[in-house]
Chain A
Amino acid sequence: MSDDTYEARVITLPVERATTAARQTAATAAARQVAAVGAWSVDDWGRDPYLVDATIRLGALRWRTVVGGAERLPVRAGALIVVNARRYALTPIFTALALTQATDRPVRFVGRPDIAPVGPFVRRLGGLLDRPDEVAGALRAGELVVMGAHPELHPRRVGRVDHRLVGAAVATQVAVFPAATASSPLSRSARVEVGAVARPGRRRRGPLIELELADAVEERIQRLLDQLGGAQTGTPLDWLPLSGMGGG
């Protein structure tokens, strides 16, 4: 028995064609709405480069950040950058964004909360969980990772450096760089200064190396902060701990 409409039924089913066209029109309209917010593409760690770019542009409205010593950072290999942090100042995020711009490489930071909706948003900016295995994974993959020292109230003091996270750098054999950040609450200027690679004082075979390296990094950051000097207003404000990255 011949069936002349056989192929037509296989290739062009009118109902399917109509629903596909309707779906594609609706999807295109929805995509156009979403496109205004971002491209929504993410890398292996969930970082969205378009959102990072937008955040950098937004940050530039408030801060004019000068980055020094970025040429010390490796061009391709991974590295851990430890910065001084002020309480509630989001220093690691700002530093990571500034270094992203200076190095033209994706720079991630430690300290993402794991709860929606803040956690997923911070992940899109390049946030990693505060876990040694998470940091080690990123460093092993050749990523630049910024971690903050324990937050301090005073902008010219550095807090304790978490030796567990420094241990991730030791385990993956990547360089650890101290970095100091400073900003003025009354102007737009901010500065990130990356120091030379930190090395432990003596060779160790056991876990002592991460403790000594953390101490060495802390000391180097303090030295960098001392060299940066403070933003002076010439008023009694200088006596108050008001200056610092994002602390205005």
Chain B
Amino acid sequence: MEIVKTLFQFLAAALLAPLLPGVINRVKAFFAGRRGQPLGQLYYDLFKLLLKTPVYSRTTTWVFKAGPIIGVASLVTALALLPFAGRPSFFAFEGDFIFLIYLLGLARFATVLAALDTGSAFEGMGASREMQFAVFAEPAFFLGLAALARVTGQPSLAGMFGALTGDTWRTAAPVLALLTASFFIVLLAENSRVPADDPNTHLELTMIHEAMVLDHSGPDLAFILYGASLKLWLFGALICSTVLPRHTGSWASDSALFLLMMFGVAAGVGIVESVIARLRLTKVPFMLITAFAFSALALIFQMGR
């Protein structure tokens, strides 16, 4: 019975992930006074792209074709590690949060290699920026997870989020609040959301993530878009499990609450995108250093407790 539940959790996450960008877009449209695209727009896009024939430039090699596949495969694996509503996934093991960070790094590495393989100047620029910001985002994320492991005394993601309860918020509220803030900033930067990058611009000179995937088409682009939504789901799930560590005891109500919270996080991202402007490119590292400072503070707080 348990294995069915965990498989169902995994499938639900994999299937519902493309809904999050839809929620963000609807919230943004609401703030701009528009009706916006349908909630399930990404599903239509993915379906359309999967039916198309990819086009490959003659300068590219197998690296270019492998990039999106490795990217989406490592993100799906990362999703299999992720606890759902504080309940362990079927793939959880001790120390899996380090594996999770490496999987995210592998996905990024594959995308960057594919971008460099095209030989296009824009893609090289995008790849360089992506790596530059990753240098700041990864320590923040890693230190945050380390602090969380320290708070709960558990070495696995499932253990961490399983051990988090309302009581932890009562005793270690400052640490958890700092961690939530840090994770949210990392979410915005890693998913190329507004203060770091504008997902709507198609001006290559200012793009970060989007500039790397300009040459992909058809199913490859579908994999990349799906991978991006999985990444958004992943960071959102980490924030939700930190903020809302309630365990009502019933699986169904826990899951429903978790899903509601996920859409809440997506709406929060939409609101942030609607009310603040994007940062100048040279200021983005400052934002990520702030996230790093939050994570480091949380860790120091916890160490000296």
**Are the chains A and B members of one assembly?**
no
Residue positions of B touching A, CB distance < 8 A: none
